[in-house]
């Protein structure tokens, strides 16, 4: 049977007889097999990172990066420094699963459940799923990246920050102007507190404000589509992007927009956002004109700017399109709207109209009633007003803007 190959029942062992007396052993190993994620080792290194951050130990964190990758080493060191200066507590993390395919070099990205809180400011911890990049490194697994991708990216997890604080206010800033931004915004927060308490004296301030390096970084910090907040000066939102009613809240600043504002304008922005903090605005559902108009009412109450400044865009809108037949709603407050700034001014004038009819305390009562779950109609009725009366009085005010 020379010249024939015989399968002798040893296929699984890769043995065929071919001609002569010696068996031929085929090499069935697949050197081209795709690498796989080392989930167990990665989960362990995540716990090492948690311990390093909890201890505020930058050297221990840096050791978890790749020595031949200065960027990863520097990032881990920076994050540990941030954790120490912020006073992060309640830190925990859990490796969840790979996201996407493992690269040919064995590197991969995974989702990690992360929990954190700022001592002295957060009554409850934040909780979010973030992305962490891993890579094999000389028999171990190293961390090569934190945050980014299609998940929320907490600012403190992305780069070295400048952090300034008082007992009741904390500002963290990123980017080339971070030192200046942190100083300036802490001053603005401190000036805004008495403005808010002038109308809401029961508020006990506790404010954390974040200043990303750019509007793109702001979108990343909030896990929203690129450009969502390109035209927004600031936004108050949950630290972890969740809808929980008990989670920590942050004021996020868009430095590209606020940087174009004059001093008074920038101060109004911060006072406005602190009203949202003081009233737990992220946890309630109010008509947009009342939510945003009330915040501007408080912020502008003592600012001393003329109507030609505070209602300039509303005046231009009325001149162009006429007096609106309804108070500004969800459509008018769409972040992509060309008339968004006018919507804020229109909402402010609506709240000015309410206060003119029932006084400032009456306006506060309307806001409180609506925050507690009452419809706007019922909230207005609690001070003897109807939506129609507010609408008609507001329209009269707008007609007075046209000359």
Where are the chain's structural domains? Answer: 39-157, 161-276, 284-403
Q: pLDDT tens, 264-275? A: 999 999 999 999
Give me 252's structure tokens.
């996020």
Give me 7's structure tokens.
């399968």
Question: CA–CA distance from 101 to each of 35, 76, 365 (Å)?
Answer: 10, 24, 55
Question: CA–CA distance from 81 to each of 113, 263, 289, 326, 372 (Å)?
Answer: 21, 32, 42, 51, 41
H helix runs in 206-328, sequence order: 215-222, 255-258, 263-278, 288-300, 307-310, 312-321
What pLDDT sits at residue 20?
Answer: 44
Q: pLDDT tens, 282-340? A: 999 999 999 999 999 999 999 888 898 999 999 999 999 999 999 999 999 998 888 99
Q: Are 175 and 213 in contact (CB under 8 A)?
A: yes
Q: Are 140 and 129 in contact (CB under 8 A)?
A: no
Hey, which CATH number is domain 39-157, 3.40.50.1820, 3.30.750.210, 3.10.450.50, 3.40.50.1220? Answer: 3.10.450.50
Strand positions, DSSP E, 147-195? 162-166, 169-173
Instruction: State the virtual CA torsion across 151, 273, 357, 326 in degrees, nearest 10.
Output: -30
Question: CA–CA distance from 263 to each of 83, 344, 387 (Å)?
Answer: 31, 19, 35
Q: pLDDT tens, 26-44? A: 444 444 567 899 999 999 9
What pLDDT sits at residue 398?
Answer: 96
Whole-model pTM: value is: 0.88
What is the CA 181 to chain-centroid distance, rounded?
Answer: 18
What is the CA 198 to chain-centroid distance, rounded?
Answer: 28
Of the chain, the percentage scoring pLDDT greater than 70 comes to 91
CATH topology match: 39-157 vs 161-276: no
Q: Are 365 and 383 in contact (CB under 8 A)?
A: yes
What number of helices (H) and strands (E) belong to the chain?
Answer: 13, 12
Closest by Cα among 224, 149, 211 to 175: 211
The full DSSP string for 69-127 is: -HHHHHHHHHHHHHHHHHTEEEEEEEEEEE-SPPPTTS-EEEEEEEEEEETTT-SS-EE
CA distance 7 to 16: 6
CA distance 365 to 206: 23
Cβ-in-10-Å burial (0-12, 13-18, 19+) of 331 comes to exposed
What pLDDT sits at residue 336?
Answer: 87
Q: Are 250 and 210 in contact (CB under 8 A)?
A: yes
What pLDDT sits at residue 349?
Answer: 98
- Greatest Cα-to-Cα distance within the chain, rounded to the nearest angstrom: 110
CA distance 98 to 340: 40
In what order do the strands lie in the sheet containing 15-18?
5-7, 15-18, 24-25
Closest by Cα among 209, 177, 173, 178 to 191: 209
CATH topology (fold) of 161-276: Zincin-like (3.30.2010)
Low-confidence ranges of the chain (pLDDT < 70): 1-33, 244-245, 403
């Amino acid at each position: 049977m020379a010249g024939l190959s015989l399968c002798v029942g040893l296929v699984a062992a890769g043995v065929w007889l071919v001609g002569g007396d010696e068996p031929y052993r085929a090499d069935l190993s697949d050197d081209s097999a795709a690498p796989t994620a080392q989930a167990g080792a990665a989960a362990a290194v995540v716990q090492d990172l948690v311990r390093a951050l909890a201890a505020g130990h930058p050297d221990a964190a840096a050791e978890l990066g790749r020595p031949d990758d200065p960027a990863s080493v520097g990032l881990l060191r920076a994050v540990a420094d941030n954790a120490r200066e912020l006073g992060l507590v309640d830190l925990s993390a859990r490796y969840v699963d790979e996201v996407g395919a493992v690269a040919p070099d064995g590197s991969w990205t995974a989702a990690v459940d992360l929990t954190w809180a700022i001592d002295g400011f957060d009554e409850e911890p934040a909780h979010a799923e973030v992305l962490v990049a891993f890579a094999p490194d000389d028999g171990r697994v190293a961390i090569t990246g934190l945050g980014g991708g299609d998940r929320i990216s907490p600012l403190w997890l992305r780069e070295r920050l400048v952090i300034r604080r008082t007992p009741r206010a904390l500002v963290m800033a990123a980017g080339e102007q971070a030192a200046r931004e942190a100083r300036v915004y802490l001053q603005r927060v401190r000036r805004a507190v008495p403005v808010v308490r002038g109308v809401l004296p029961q508020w006990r301030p506790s404010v954390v404000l974040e200043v990303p390096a750019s509007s793109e970084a702001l979108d990343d910090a909030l896990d929203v589509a690129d450009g969502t907040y390109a035209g927004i000066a600031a936004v108050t939102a949950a630290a972890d992007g969740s809808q929980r009613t008990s989670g920590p809240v942050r004021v996020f600043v868009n430095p590209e927009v606020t940087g174009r504002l004059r001093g008074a304008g920038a101060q109004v922005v911060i006072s406005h956002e602190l009203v949202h903090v003081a009233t737990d605005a992220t946890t309630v559902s109010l008509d947009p004109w009342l939510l945003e108009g009330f915040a501007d009412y408080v912020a502008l109450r003592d600012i001393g700017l003329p109507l030609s400044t505070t209602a300039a865009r509303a005046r231009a809108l009325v001149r162009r399109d006429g007096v609106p037949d309804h108070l500004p709603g969800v459509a008018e407050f769409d972040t992509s709207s060309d008339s968004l700034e006018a919507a804020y001014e229109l909402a402010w004038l609506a709240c000015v109209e309410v206060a003119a009819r029932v006084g400032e305390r009456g306006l506060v009562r309307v806001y409180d009633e609506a925050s507690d779950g009452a419809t706007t109609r019922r909230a207005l009725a609690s001070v003897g007003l109807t939506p129609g009366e507010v609408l008609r009085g507001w329209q009269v005010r707008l007609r007075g803007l046209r000359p």
